[in-house]
Structure 1
Amino acid sequence: MRVLMTITPGTGHTYPMVPLSWALQTAGHEVLVASCGPGLALGEAGARTVDVAPGLSLDRMVGELMRNHPEVAAKLLQEASGVPYLEVVGGAVAAALRLQPELVDAVIRTAEEWRPDLVVHSPLFTPGMVAAAKLGVPAVQHGFGFVNPSAEMMGELHKDLFDAHGVALPEARATIDITPPSVVAPEPGMWSARFAPYNGSGPLPKPLFDLLNSAPDRPRVAVTLGSGPVPGEAALVLERIAQAAPKTDAEFVVVLPRIDLEPFGPLPDNVHTFDWVPYSALLATCSAVVHHGGPGTALGAMAHGLPQLMPALKGLGRPVVAKAIADRGLGRVAEPGEIGPELLESVLADTSIREAAAEVREEMRAMPAPYDLVPRLEELAAR
């Protein structure tokens, strides 16, 4: 098969699709990725890529949405209560894509030129569905965890795009969901797949290599606020961690690729900071994770059976993820100002959280691997 992957230019949307790309290529299929910015990270992982909008990233798209449609951006970043998140994010993405006609046109044009047998697209990325419909091939939505909107909803929210190309939703469709069913129940008909951690490649600086290959003599806690737009309360979260560290019998590894730590002054001796860390390798040495409520971060913690502590941050689906984790008993949600030694040590010591985390880890290990989906994709394309 020829498989075209069309991806929203965000790291959190891209990395979950890497394992399926590997599975398809090792089965002998040809993969081409049409994206831009962080979406091109699949190239580092071995896929051929086409940059359909040089210089464009998810951050820039959000920035332009804020300038042109501040009321829509405000809903996305603040998640107004009473409005379903899927409706908020679906409407925001449709509005953001209308501001990027070159990106939309380039994705569809690439598909028409390359003629794939199957289009795999990230959630919310309607140009991929339109391209599949125009070519008469199946469209497969690959979720990034916790949020998997229906094609029908996106088709309605971005109806003008489908109408402009004279198509309806592709007749043959499938949706891959990587969230453990006990955490978020999948919609009927979704294909469950095991989350396979991937977070980039590159050389390891010697201090990082030494850290990842050492056995800590006390609990190690990973702290990350994600690869997307920096949460508004990031500074308070980091300040609270820095204040709590000297009073907590633990070691903290803070991964902050986009935050300037200079204003915080000298950090405690039991706090290590890095711009980038291979997340799964770090978690294999940790006892807990403090994070922003990002889907990939939460899934990575679940894959390692780790308790999670999430500051109650607004926007970009963070409350959705935090609620799902707390409801399943995998961790706790607290206001940023509540983070302190007592809370951190109580999460580390909570046996009920650790037991629930171990249950979900085993549940994930029993889910179909990405390569198990390849025959299903072959069958779908052959219809």
Structure 2
Amino acid sequence: MMTITPGTGHTYPMVPLAWALQLAGHEVLVVSCGPGLEMGEAGVRTVDVSPGLSLGQMQGKLAANHPELGAKLASEALDANYLDIIGGAVAAALRLQPQMVEGMIRTAQEWRPDVIVHSPLLTPGLVAAAKLGIPAVQHEFGFVRPSGQIMRKVHADLFEQHGVDLPEVQATIDITPPSIAAPDPDSWMMGFVPYNGSGALPAPIFDFLTNAPAVPRIAITLGSGPAPEEAALIFRQVLEMAPKTDAEFVMVVPTVDLEPFGPLPDNVRSFGWAPYSTLMSHCSAVIHHGGPGSALGAIVNGVPQVIPDFKGLARPLIADTMVQRGIARVVPPQEIGPELVESLLADTALPAATNDVREEIKNMPSPYEIVDRLVALVGAGK
């Protein structure tokens, strides 16, 4: 069973392992809601435990009921307490969603899996595994590495409500390349495999994205739910610099209405959605919001990255580790302009380092190898 936080950034990294499990003949059930149900579009059976609920709604309810926690989560900077801040905010958000939490635990008790693979910080998966006496495996989404111990501390009331402690057998799947951030020695390393949703791509869009442009192409993507003020700031910078820059800009903004920004310059194209790897196939660089999926997706496609230095949601951690490895530039949003693009395109160190990490990911264990470890873990726990 996979218990997944209802967000695309939590769901997509778990798709390759679900595929590998099914191809190896194992039965997989995904328990989630909202965007977590996109696993169904990827061919995995799903159960909706809280119809209509999304990660954005959870964040909104958290901000309304615990404004101080919502503010911390949005403004958190890189320091020693960032995981505690995130863990505490997630625990508070989960308390506000009892239908989802209890639905996950109840479904596990009814279905009785041999192992639960869960999103980071998703306490119901840990509690359900403890109640059933089965292993719990945390599937990380990159860069942010919380432990079960954090959630045991900040969400102690849920464990006490169900009369359990942490599962006796636990493991962690880590998809962050070791050269970017040293892993826990006990973690199971797995190479990142990009997945960005399903659906038909119209031929004109496919042709445009896969044909090499006459000038450098810069992609701009801000994830599935950018803060409106952040999105507006980046779009204004891009639209202002585009007429002054000998480059082509492709903006992928599935949740943002660009109409208020007026007519787009001739060298700017906009799409509501495009598969990331197709988008990256002929890009010289990408500007993105600092999410782990966007960062890892750019690496596996060998594309240098620019990340605005926004706070909150662990983005300072992601940005810092990328800069330390030499595979990204982090700049104030106001500095996104022609000079930055010119400097970026002339930089040879950034793409060289990116390609080194790309090769590292290729040499990491595959999801098929993780299937074998899961089978062994279940056998050891019996």
Structures share fold, TM-score greater than 0.5: yes
- What code does the residue aligned with 1:19 have? P
Match of 1:104 in 2: 101
d(CA) in 2 for partners of 1:79, 1:231: 18
Of 232, 236, 250, the residue aligned with 2:233 is: 236
Range that drifts further, 28-37 or 302-311: 302-311
Match of 2:338 in 1: 341
1:305 aligns with 2:302: yes
d(CA) in 2 for partners of 1:371, 1:114: 24
Report the RMSD for the aligned CA atoms in angstroms: 1.1
1:381 aligns with 2:342: no
Match of 2:276 in 1: 279
Kept in 1, the 8 Å contact 2:210–2:278? The answer is no
Q: How many percent of aligned residue pairs carry the same amino acid?
A: 64
- What code does the residue aligned with 1:256 have? V
- What code does the residue aligned with 1:141 have? Q
Using the size of structure 2 for normalisation, the TM-score is 0.97
1:362 aligns with 2:359: yes
- What code does the residue aligned with 1:249 have? D
Structure 2, unpaired ranges of 5+: none
1:335-378 superposed Cα distances (whole Å, 9 cap, x missing partner): 11111101012112110111111111111111111111111000
Structure 1, unpaired ranges of 5+: none
Of 65, 70, 74, the residue aligned with 1:68 is: 65
Number of aligned residues = 380
Q: What pairs up with 1:1-383 in 2 under 5 angstroms? A: 4-79=1-76, 82=79, 84-230=81-227, 232-383=229-380
Kept in 2, the 8 Å contact 1:231–1:313? The answer is no
1:231 Cα shift?
5.5
- What code does the residue aligned with 2:140 have? G
The SS at the match of 2:28 is strand
d(CA) in 2 for partners of 1:228, 1:11: 10
The SS at the match of 2:220 is strand
Kept in 1, the 8 Å contact 2:175–2:189? The answer is yes
Kept in 2, the 8 Å contact 1:86–1:149? The answer is yes
d(CA) in 1 for partners of 2:86, 2:366: 28
d(CA) in 2 for partners of 1:325, 1:270: 29
1:86 Cα shift?
0.9
d(CA) in 2 for partners of 1:81, 1:17: 26
Kept in 2, the 8 Å contact 1:16–1:197? The answer is yes
1:178 Cα shift?
0.5
d(CA) in 2 for partners of 1:22, 1:175: 18
Kept in 1, the 8 Å contact 2:129–2:135? The answer is yes
The SS at the match of 1:30 is coil
d(CA) in 1 for partners of 2:319, 2:280: 19
- What code does the residue aligned with 2:52 have? G
Kept in 2, the 8 Å contact 1:307–1:348? The answer is no
- What code does the residue aligned with 1:149 have? P
1:281 Cα shift?
1.3
d(CA) in 2 for partners of 1:63, 1:94: 14
Using the size of structure 1 for normalisation, the TM-score is 0.97
Kept in 2, the 8 Å contact 1:9–1:58? The answer is yes
- What code does the residue aligned with 2:334 have? G
